[in-house]
Amino acid sequence: MKLILLKTNLKEGLDAVSHATGENTHLPILKNILLKASSNRIELAGTNLELAISKYISGKTIEEGGIAIPSGTLSSLISNLPDERINLETNSNTLVIKSDNYEARLQGMSPEEFPLIPQIKDKERYLKISGGILKEALVQVVNATQYSEWRQELNGVLFDFEESRLVFVATDSFRLSKKIIASSQFESNWPALKVIVPIKTIQELIRIIKDTEIISIYFDESQIMFISEETEVISRLIEGKFPDYEAIIPKTFETEAIIEKGNLMHALKLAGIFSGKVNDVHLKIEEGHKMIEIYSSNTQLGDNKYLLAVKSNKGMPEIIFNWRYFVDGLKAISEKDIYMGINGEDKPVIIRSVNDQSLVYLLMPIRM
């Protein structure tokens, strides 16, 4: 194999695939990435057997071939090269890296030892969506996930598809995020389906998807694939039944309030300084329902109270929240004002934009 390519392109490819490599004492090949050159493209690939990422970069192929090479070492080496133009060639299972005044030899492994990247054969059923729309939706829900050893179905994001909409849902049982994408924002001939995509895959998609590209999504019984012009991501799906999220989300509320998001975030972060081990802060709306009080105390530090203007139909009893979870929900909302729907001190609270109901964040109170 002989290649000439730019450092910028190679670094972009390595950054894309290196997170998919794995640590496995029985399969040391998983610490490697596959570098493969054919007449029309250069491919980089990494896998941990649960997730595989392939990235196609531009360069000049002088001689076709491939090698499996340690991901971390190659990434560090390329990042620190001062020259933009790089020559790569293989000598048996050694990769020779040359620039204007530098040469290194990096020991690799035969490309035949690298695991086969799985494929989805049936590409008749597809969903096509803008990278920007997909990425924004995943960013808005992924904060509600948290790894659980006991409930595998919570270790991912639910893709719930029907003809008229695509819904992304994530929950860790203390909070839940739901994002609806209308059918006008994508093209699909998928049947109705529900699949759970692992957190790791979602995080990698957020990291490598470009806003300007079109993402085609395919699936089979156990896998899901995301393909753009430059990148392929294939992941195993999580088995199990996702919670019935529609039954969890309340439809009516005793107290409805509108608050300026920025001020509320500021107040919660200040209150968090005095919060306890469970990040507890107390919120209540007085009977005059013109002000919301955010209060926290700590026996070792002291206490604080913050009053904010609120538009509310009635008062709200004191409710205790995890302030970090509350702020996570606010971060996902882009508008200036947020809506809160409340049904008492021990019932879930709904947080969303005032004008946009496509994103809903549900937060359970803390029971002290």
Residue 277 has a pLDDT of 87
Residue with token string 């808005």: 140
User: Per the structure block, which two tokens stand in for 202?
Assistant: 């979602």
CA distances from 100 to 10, 85, 189 (A): 17, 8, 51
Backbone angles phi, psi at 76, to 5 degrees: -65, -40
**What residue type is assigned to position 102 of the chain?**
Y
Residue 69 has pLDDT above 90, yes or no: yes
Q: Mean of the pLDDT values across residues 46-59?
A: 94
Q: Tell me the pLDDT band of 367, cut-offs 50, 70 and 90.
A: confident
pTM summary value: 0.92
What CATH class is the domain 249-363? Answer: alpha beta
Judge whether 138 and 206 are in contact, CB under 8 Å.
Answer: yes
**HEC profile of 244-256:** CHHHHCCCCCCEE
Q: Mean of the pLDDT values across residues 205-219?
A: 96
Higher pLDDT, 8 or 146: 8
Nearest to 176 by CA among 221, 153, 143: 143
User: pLDDT tens digit string along 13-23?
Assistant: 999 999 999 77
Q: Mean of the pLDDT values across residues 71-92?
A: 93
Cα separation, 363 vs 11, in Å, equals 40
Nearest to 142 by CA among 131, 158, 130, 127: 158
**Sequence-ordered list of residues with C-beta below 8 angstroms from that of 151, at least 6 positions apart, any chain:** 173, 240
How many of the other CB atoms lie within 10 Å of CB of 169?
A: 24
Residue 28 has pLDDT above 80, yes or no: yes
Q: Which residues pair with 65 in a beta bridge?
A: 37
Residue 25 has pLDDT above 70, yes or no: no
Q: Do domains 2-113 and 127-246 have the same CATH topology?
A: yes
The CA-based dihedral angle spanning residues 228, 232, 236, 241, taken in that order and rounded to the nearest 10 degrees: -10
Q: Mean of the pLDDT values across residues 168-192?
A: 95
Q: Tell me the pLDDT band of 129, cut-offs 50, 70 and 90.
A: very high
Q: Which CATH architecture describes the domain 127-246?
A: Roll (3.10)
Cα separation, 151 vs 172, in Å, equals 9
User: pLDDT tens digit string along 281-333?
Assistant: 999 998 777 899 999 998 889 999 999 999 999 888 899 999 999 999 999 99
User: pLDDT tens digit string along 238-293?
Assistant: 999 999 999 999 999 999 999 999 999 999 999 999 998 889 999 999 877 789 99
**HEC profile of the chain:** CEEEEEHHHHHHHHHHHHHHCCCCCCCHHHHEEEEEECCCCEEEEEECCCEEEEEEECCEEEECEEEEEEHHHHHHHHHHCCCCEEEEEEECCEEEEEECCEEEEEECECHHHCCCCCCCCCCCCCEEEEHHHHHHHHHHHHCCCCCCCCCHHHCEEEEEEECCEEEEEEECCCEEEEEEEEHHHEEECCCCEEEEEEHHHHHHHHHHCCCCCEEEEEECCCEEEEECCCEEEEEECECCCCCCHHHHCCCCCCEEEEEEHHHHHHHHHHHHHCCCCCCEEEEEECCCCCEEEEEEEECCCEEEEEEEECEECCCEEEEEEEHHHHHHHHHCCCCCEEEEEECCCCCCEEEEECCCCCEEEEECCCCC
What CATH class is the domain 2-113? Answer: alpha beta
**What residue type is assigned to position 341 of the chain?**
G
Among the residue ranges 18-32, 37-51, 119-133, the one predicted with the least confidence is 18-32
Residue 26 has pLDDT above 90, yes or no: no
Backbone angles phi, psi at 182, to 5 degrees: -70, 155
Residue 112 has a pLDDT of 93
Nearest to 176 by CA among 186, 167, 185: 167
Residue 40 has pLDDT above 80, yes or no: no
Q: Which residues pair with 165 in a beta bridge?
A: 162, 182
How many of the other CB atoms lie within 10 Å of CB of 224?
A: 20
Between the ranges 112-116, 175-179, 274-278, where is the mean pLDDT highest?
Answer: 175-179
The domain limits of the chain are: 2-113, 127-246, 249-363
Q: Tell me the pLDDT band of 73, cut-offs 50, 70 and 90.
A: very high
Residue 109 has pLDDT above 70, yes or no: yes
Q: Mean of the pLDDT values across residues 72-88?
A: 93
Average pLDDT, the chain: 93
Residue 368 has a pLDDT of 66
**What residue type is assigned to position 53 of the chain?**
I
Q: Tell me the pLDDT band of 87, cut-offs 50, 70 and 90.
A: very high
